[in-house]
């Protein structure tokens, strides 16, 4: 199966161009969390997959985190989309 390529775009009304493009390939949109605190945006995603095989149970776990500071003019109005 092909993995869908997801990208998260962060925008602000005061900045004419996008602030960031974060690649979250391999994660479902429901697995992605965006938080903003003290002028820093953190994008994180976690995914746990369990499969039963003839030899037993297998489990894989993936985690992604990216954090960056916002420009001072853009701290009040930030939106994101996946």
Give per-residue pLDDT as tens, 30-58. 888 888 888 888 889 999 888 888 888 88
Is pTM beyond 0.85? Reply is no
CATH architecture group of domain 2-69: Sandwich (2.60)
Q: Which residue has the higher pLDDT, 5 or 1?
A: 5
What value, to the nearest 5°, has the Cα angle with vertex 66 and ends 81 and 63?
95
* pLDDT above 70 (res 9): no
The residues spanned by each domain of the chain are 2-69
């Amino acid at each position: 199966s092909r993995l869908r390529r997801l990208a998260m775009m962060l925008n602000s009304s005061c900045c004419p161009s996008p602030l960031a493009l974060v690649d979250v390939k391999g994660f479902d949109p429901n697995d992605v969390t965006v938080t903003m605190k003290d002028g820093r945006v953190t994008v994180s995603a976690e995914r746990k997959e369990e499969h039963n095989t003839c030899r037993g149970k297998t489990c894989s776990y993936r985690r992604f985190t990216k954090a960056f500071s916002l420009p001072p003019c853009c701290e009040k109005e930030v939106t994101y989309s996946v």
